[in-house]
A and B are shown apart, each in its own frame.
Chain A
Amino acid sequence: MTQLTFLIPIALLMGAAGLAAFFWAMRDGQFEDLDGAANRILIDEDDDGNMP
């Protein structure tokens, strides 16, 4: 039973970390342009340095 005192807080912390990561990603605009991100992989960046 003593393992539970470690395992449950760990499980909760990991869940909370995932939740925090999701909130950060949303605030940072990671979900703003999902289709665009998929397409940007195909853009060559060699010719100039303008690409962000």
Chain B
Amino acid sequence: MNALADIASAETGELVDSRFTVPGMRCAGCIAKIERGLGELEGVEAARVNFSAKRVAVRHTRALDDDDLTEALRHLGFEAQAVAANPLAQDDKETRGLLRALAVAGFGMMNIMLLSVSVWSGAGGVTREMFHWLSAMIALPVVIYSGRPFFSSAAMALRYRRTNMDVPISIGVLLATGLSLYETLTGGEHAYFDGAVMLLFFLLAGRALDSTMRNRTRAGIGALLSKMGRNASVIQVDGSTQRFAAEDLEPGMVMLVAAGEALAADGVVEQGQGAIDNAMLTGESTPEAVSIGSTVHAGALNLTEVLQVRITAVAGDTAIAEIARLMDEAGQSRSKYVRIADRAARLYAPAVHSLAALAFIGWMIAGAGWYQSLVIAIAVLIITCPCAMGLAVPAAQVVASGALIKRGLLVKDGSALERLAEVDLALFDKTGTLTLGTPRPDISALDGEARSVALALSQNSRHPLSKGLADGLRAASVTPADVSQISEASGHGVTGQWQGQEVALERPEGGGNQIATRLRIGQQGWTLTFTDSLRPDAAEAITLLRGLGIEPSVISGDREAAVAAVAGELGIAAIGNAKPQDKLALLEKLKVEGHKPLMVGDGLNDGPALAAAHASIAPGTASDVSQQAADAVFIGERLMPVALAIRVARRTMQIVRQNIGFAVIYNVFAVPLALAGLVTPLIAAIAMSMSSLVVVGNSLRLARAAK
């Protein structure tokens, strides 16, 4: 269990920790394969898989870097990406805090209940007083510790003259504790410590669920702008080169970009020609040919030969930063969205508070005395405290998101589920969203030997076509042949020796429109063509969306003809040649017309649209920025999770409304009792736990919703 710690304490020289996300692990076999496979690597001390977070922590010597380990994972058959030290630490801390508060409240609740049950069963006199004192001694620290999340949130809301669910909760808990203390001091009959602590326990359970759900889904999602080049080699006046960090670059400098390096700034090619991978910016995976005079953007990956690029824009002025800024502005409207629990609280809190005040005034007028009136007013507050309400929303959303995760969709938080349920229009990007986004080769012409030679060659290349070929071959369960002396000449291909013959993957002669590569074994040769095909179940998903009353359409930055072809195949409307600003404008127009559009897209160019849409979904292969901007991420080759997400979200909201409805009905029955002064701590405790159990039980019905 403690392999990492044990090794850390041993004398192992200088070791570093690296973390990788590996979305593809699905079973016990994958855990074993990754941990053993990495463990056998030279320089790796230990590898530990976190299956829930789909992550691997590797402890290794400095001789290995992130690229080597990603490559090793790829050889084991897993796509992996390095992640920063621990981006989730902050969220994690919040969940841990809530869990601790929950445990403390649970401890307090059980012990106070133990004492309360004896009081209810008739303990009197000195025993009752002693039990009240004991309860007070347990309850005070528990309320102070476990109540903090609510008190601080309520204080924050009041400071900005708003009210949220935490205001009635805090007032209820504090008044109940205060009254019970007074009762204890004066040797009174009723103390409500059990009610106050139980309320905290149930509400914390709701909060902890909510926060766990957010962590679980965010774990799979990478860090912003991680792919943009961090530094660049700049050619000095005397011809030598010097490394500059991205933020120290200035327009006019000439940077030398090696093959496989990401550009750190926008610029114009001054020397050299070759191809760049613009997938980060446009979502199009086909390499783009560049030559002297071509404009290139930060974030693009240089695939072939060394390029000299004169910088035209740096850091904050690059195309990538411009898109990030657009997204920032577009996301503003979404932060104004008010969640259903807070919408309910806006109606609920004033109603409850005025009811309690009326009870107090009413009993004062009836001549009950200020003490009796206060007790009744507080009983009203306790019994109406939104215990079921606090669980109604998170319980349903957690169960629903758990069901969706099993179907390959990660929803970021509850607000996302609420917004997904409201959409009435869907806009899809083309490449990488409706289609798979990676060029898939046609390997039907190859025999078994040729396939394994092709895999051996292609898995040693960084070129996107080679990656596509390797993925396609692995999917057909091909094992690589034993090819030696593999070398990659950028721009020309990969060559090697196999059974005494020269084998190669190279650029086909003639070229033409199609994307293709040529496999050569000795004298024999095959031309492999690549196509970007539709996701296998795109048509079904579109039909299901239509069935839900959502009209899908395509909006893409690709050529009109290419977009129209895909849209025609699926029978939906299409707009081609759209720039990020055009997508944004269309969404704004739809929103003004009163629609609530869903945006599904993957490229960085979709980022602003994803942030502006009422709700948004990105595929797991999308650029980091898009995944960050989207409300949900779907994994795998199928498009169905998108349609399922809408269906489950709507079902969830239905259950949430039922839950809130139940909480209201329960109050309709309980409040008259409280107003009549008939609520004792026993009745309050029973009512509270019953309503919470019903709400949780009702929410569990969602577990089957994604089927």
Contacts and interface: CB of A to CB of B under 8 A. Distances in A.
B31 A36 contact: yes
Nearest to A7: B114
Given A15-B110, A34-B52, A36-B52, A43 B100 contact: no
A28 B127 CA distance: 41
B427 interface: no
B104 interface: yes
A39 to B, nearest CB: 4
A12 B27 CA distance: 42
A11 B111 contact: yes
Contacts of A42: 28
B675 to A, nearest CB: 36
A15 B50 CA distance: 31
A15 B113 CA distance: 12
A42 B53 CA distance: 19
B39 interface: yes
A32 B216 CA distance: 11
B666 interface: no
Contact of A22 (B103, B110, B134): B103
Contact of A1 (B52, B99, B111, B127): B127
Interface residues on A, range: 20 to 34
Interface in A6-36: 8, 11-12, 15-16, 18-19, 22-23, 26, 32-36
A15 B103 contact: no
B51 A36 contact: yes
Contact of A33 (B4, B50, B96): B50
Contacts, number: 66
B3 interface: yes
B337 interface: no
B107 A40 contact: no
A33 B48 CA distance: 11
B28 A40 contact: yes
A12 B111 contact: yes
A22 to B, nearest CB: 5
A42 B104 CA distance: 35
A40 B103 contact: no
Nearest to B37: A50
Given A12-B111, A39-B31, A40-B28, A48 B36 contact: yes
Contacts of A32: 50, 52-53
B104 A19 contact: yes
B52 A40 contact: no
B53 A50 contact: no
B52 A43 contact: no
Contacts of A36: 31, 49-52
Nearest to B137: A12
Nearest to B110: A15
B329 to A, nearest CB: 37
A51 B35 contact: yes
A23 to B, nearest CB: 7
B46 interface: yes
A3 B110 CA distance: 20
A40 B111 contact: no
B590 to A, nearest CB: 40
B10 interface: no
Nearest to B2: A52
A8 B31 CA distance: 47
Contact of B107 (A1, A15, A34): A15
B52 A35 contact: yes
A43 B32 contact: yes
A32 B2 CA distance: 13
A26 B36 CA distance: 27
B39 A50 contact: yes
B1 interface: yes
Contacts of B100: 23, 26
A31 B96 CA distance: 10
Contacts of B40: 50
A8 to B, nearest CB: 7
Contacts of B32: 43-44, 51
Interface string B341-357: 00000000000000000
Interface in B15-44: 27-29, 31-32, 35-36, 39-40
A18 B114 contact: no
A39 B103 contact: no
Contacts of A44: 32
Given A8-B134, A48-B36, A50-B39, A39 B51 contact: yes
B46 A52 contact: yes
A52 B3 contact: yes
Contacts of B103: 19, 22-23
A36 B39 CA distance: 18
B127 A33 contact: no
A1 B39 CA distance: 63
Of A12, A22, A39, chain B has the most CB atoms within 10 Å of the CB of A39
A25 B31 CA distance: 23
B28 A39 contact: yes
Contacts of B50: 32-33, 36
A11 B115 CA distance: 10
Contacts of A12: 111, 138
A44 B422 CA distance: 48
Contacts of A43: 28-29, 31-32
Nearest to A51: B35
A15 B108 CA distance: 9
Interface in B41-68: 46, 48-53
Of B2, B32, B39, B99, chain A has the most CB atoms within 10 Å of the CB of B32
B208 to A, nearest CB: 12
Contacts of A19: 103-104, 107
Nearest to B130: A4
A50 B104 CA distance: 39
A9 to B, nearest CB: 10
A27 to B, nearest CB: 9
B111 A15 contact: yes
Contacts of A1: 127
23 contacts: A4-B127, A11-B111, A12-B111, A15-B110, A19-B104, A22-B103, A32-B52, A33-B50, A33-B51, A35-B51, A36-B52, A39-B28, A39-B31, A41-B28, A42-B28, A43-B29, A48-B36, A50-B35, A50-B36, A51-B36, A52-B3, A52-B46, A52-B48
Given A11-B114, A50-B40, A51-B35, 17 more contacts: A11-B111, A12-B138, A15-B107, A15-B111, A22-B103, A26-B96, A33-B50, A33-B52, A35-B51, A36-B52, A39-B27, A43-B32, A50-B35, A51-B36, A52-B2, A52-B3, A52-B46
Interface of A: 1, 4, 8, 11-12, 15-16, 18-19, 22-23, 26, 32-36, 39-44, 48, 50-52
